Amino acid sequence: MKAALLSALGTLLLAAAPAWADAQLGERLARASCAQCHNFAKAEGHGVGPNLFGLLGRPAGVAPGFEFSKPHADALKGKTWDAALLDRWLTDTQSVAPGSGMVYFQDDPAKRAALIEYLQTLK
């Protein structure tokens, strides 16, 4: 019984560790490739792009106080930011919202996953 419990705990820890490591890598990537345009802290305002605090679960193309370009807002209308949409966005923003003011390509799935893990912690 005890052994089963310990092993279940071990599995939990193992499952949790990579996500935690990913989030740390994601934060480094975000500082290097997103922070010149985006803020990530709740208390901060918008930059060249909208503040990304609480992004996951929020309607796309809508951020109070930030004026999105029309192509961006139109293409994303009715969508909600989840991991799948974010993965497509980070792969090629222009394929998701042609004419969006943000142009970005990340073809490494591990880096996209790390960025998404990090953004998920901002809530």
Residue 59 sits at φ, ψ, to 5 deg, of: -60, 140
User: Rounded distance, CA 6 to CA 23, Å?
Assistant: 26
Q: Is 38 in the site for ligand HEC (CB under 6 A)?
A: yes
Q: Per CB under 6 A, does 118 bind ligand HEC?
A: no
Q: Among residues 3, 15, 43, 48, which is the contact residue for ligand HEC, using CB under 6 A? A: 48
**The residue count for the chain:** 123
Q: Are residues 75 and 100 in contact, defined by beta-carbon separation less than 8 angstroms?
A: yes
Q: Is 68 in the site for ligand HEC (CB under 6 A)?
A: yes
Contact 93, 100 (CB under 8 A): yes
Q: From 59, 37, 31, select the one nearest 50 (Cα to Cα).
A: 37
Footprint (CB under 6 A) of ligand HEC, residues 7-26 = none
Q: Is 61 in the site for ligand HEC (CB under 6 A)?
A: yes
Q: Does 76 bind ligand HEC (CB under 6 A)?
A: yes
Residues that bind ligand HEC (CB under 6 A): 30, 33-34, 36-38, 48-50, 52, 55, 60-61, 63, 68-69, 72, 76, 89, 100-102, 104, 115
